[in-house]
């Protein structure tokens, strides 16, 4: 990937990390999931992001997941590698790159809530030291702090910082980043499934998507339609997916998406504590939505 073309465009499912009943990682299911998504035609995969329960993985497990996904598929693999400690994020970034990651997704430092100067120094330190493409991840609902627009625009000047995953829910802020980085071959990706279509209309280049774990083909069709200028078709697909997207965020991600994957037959919905299984009512609603998308009855696995 180079700065001469758009580094990231299209659909990148934010993969879950499957677990066995004893809490160990189910690497066979992980590889199966990666291959299923690659076969569906996605543009790449994100391993060990928030949806991959990175917060409950050890660093060694994190690296093992990256290695397993990169070995399983030929599509680009982005590895989540952020931390609220610059030193820790730098170590994890190096190890992820060594494990075969094609790029890194770096969540902004959380809990300690750095000021803009500290935020920028954090990202520049990693970009200076690890020579792979990097994506700044802004998700203030999880971190407690927005990455300032000025910070994102400044970071886009760095040759290794090639993208911005936007999950602030603020289209005004997102649009400002898009407008001010448009001439830099800098990708802005949706990090909020329900805002993918509006963001594409503003000039975003794709999505790092939770719902693509369940509906990769429809998500690809939506993005391709919007990027080709067929917004009527894109809106129709958006409306087809809207009930699923709402259902996937009724409880904390990745609780609902793991349940949806179990309903579809992609392995059990084991989660690591403190996350718990989806509540009975939302589970029944989710099963009904998947049945409508499938056009036939969907078996619910217990």
Cβ(5)–Cβ(186) below 8 Å: no
Residue with tokens 């989710």: 286
User: Taking a C-beta distance cutoff of 8 angstroms, is the pair 226, 201 a contact?
Assistant: yes
Q: Which of 137, 164, 258, 266 is catalytic?
A: 137
Question: Per residue in 25-41, pLDDT tens?
Answer: 999 999 999 999 999 99
* Tokens (6 digits) for 250: 């009724």
Annotated catalytic residue, options 12, 123, 164, 165: 165
**pTM listed for this prediction:** 0.94
Q: Kindly report, residue by residue over 84-105, the tens digit of the pLDDT.
A: 999 999 999 999 999 999 999 9
Q: Which CATH number fits domain 10-227: 1.10.10.1110, 3.20.20.70, 3.40.640.10, 3.40.50.11310?
A: 3.20.20.70
113 a catalytic residue = no
pLDDT in tens, 59-74: 999 999 999 999 999 9
Asked if 135 and 105 count as a contact pair (C-beta separation under 8 A), the reply is yes
Structure tokens at 281: 């009512």
pLDDT, residue 185, reads 86
């Amino acid at each position: 990937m180079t700065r001469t073309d758009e580094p990231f465009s299209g659909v990148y499912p934010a993969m879950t990390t499957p677990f066995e009943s004893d809490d160990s990682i189910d690497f066979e299911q992980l590889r199966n999931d990666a291959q299923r998504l690659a076969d569906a035609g996605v543009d790449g995969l994100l391993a060990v992001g928030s949806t991959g329960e990175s917060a409950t993985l050890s660093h060694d497990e994190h690296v093992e997941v990256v290695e397993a996904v990169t070995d399983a598929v030929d599509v680009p693999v982005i590895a989540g590698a952020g931390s609220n400690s610059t030193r820790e994020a730098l170590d994890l970034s190096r190890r992820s790159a060594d494990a075969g990651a094609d790029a890194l997704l770096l969540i902004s430092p959380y809990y300690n809530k750095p000021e803009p100067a500290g935020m920028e120094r954090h990202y520049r330190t990693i970009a200076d030291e690890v020579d792979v493409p990097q994506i700044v991840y802004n998700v203030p609902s999880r971190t407690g702090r927005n990455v300032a627009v000025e910070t994102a625009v400044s970071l886009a000047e760095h040759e290794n910082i090639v993208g911005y995953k936007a999950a602030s829910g603020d289209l005004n802020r997102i649009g400002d980043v898009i407008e001010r980085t448009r001439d830099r071959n800098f990708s802005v990706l949706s990090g909020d499934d329900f805002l993918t279509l509006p963001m594409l209309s503003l000039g975003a280049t794709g999505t790092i998507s939770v719902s693509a774990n369940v509906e990769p083909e429809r998500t690809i069709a939506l993005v391709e339609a919007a990027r080709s200028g067929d917004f009527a078709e894109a809106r129709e697909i958006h409306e087809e997916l809207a009930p699923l997207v709402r259902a996937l965020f009724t409880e904390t991600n990745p609780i609902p998406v793991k349940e949806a994957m179990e309903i579809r037959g992609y392995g059990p919905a084991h989660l690591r504590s403190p996350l718990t299984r989806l509540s009975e009512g939302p589970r029944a609603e989710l099963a009904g939505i998947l049945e409508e998308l499938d056009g036939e009855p969907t078996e619910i696995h217990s």
